[in-house]
Copies of this chain bind each other. A is one copy, B any other.
Amino acid sequence: MLYLTRLEHFNAAHKLYNPNWSREQNDQMFGKCANDNWHGHNYDLYVTIKGNPDPDTGFLFDVKKLSILIKDYVIEKLDHRNLNLDVDFMQGKMCSTENLAIGIWQQLEPHLPAGVQLHCIKLYETPRIYVEYFG
């Protein structure tokens, strides 16, 4: 069993705000992250798949095809977007990095071919904070 990882990037705006809470509750919990006018990040997204290399190609999966899948089903929906307003699969959820990683897994997992399994979504919110989700 081998693991293959591809790094992609996207930029997005978001805020952390629970609509069932008062302004004060939100400010106390989320601080500057609750800024009404949004803030944003450069996200680094590491997608790891696992499987066995094909003897004819030496590839677990063509990394260019993996990159296209990530771009079509994830980056296209997130890059230069507002996570709270523009992204269908984040509607009705808190736009934390945790929930975003789970959402990305759900977007990508159905599109991988037979013999290739999604192993991990690792998402950097800043160079010092990241989240990992293994399904």
CB within 8 Å of B: which residues of A?
A: 1-9, 11-14, 16, 18, 20-21, 29-33, 35, 37-42, 48, 53, 55-60, 62-64, 79-82, 85-86, 93-96, 98-99, 101-102, 126-134
5 of the cross-chain contacts (CB-CB < 8 Å) are: A3-B131, A12-B40, A33-B80, A40-B42, A57-B96
Docked-complex contact B98 and A4, CB < 8 angstroms: yes
> Copies of this chain, how many?
6
Docked-complex contact A131 and B39, CB < 8 angstroms: no
Contacts of A63 in B (CB 8 A): 129
Complex partner residue of A40 from B8, B41, B57, B134, CB under 8 angstroms:
B41
Across chains A and B, which 5 residue pairs bring their CB atoms closest together, nearest first? Answer: A40-B40, A58-B94, A58-B96, A32-B80, A37-B82
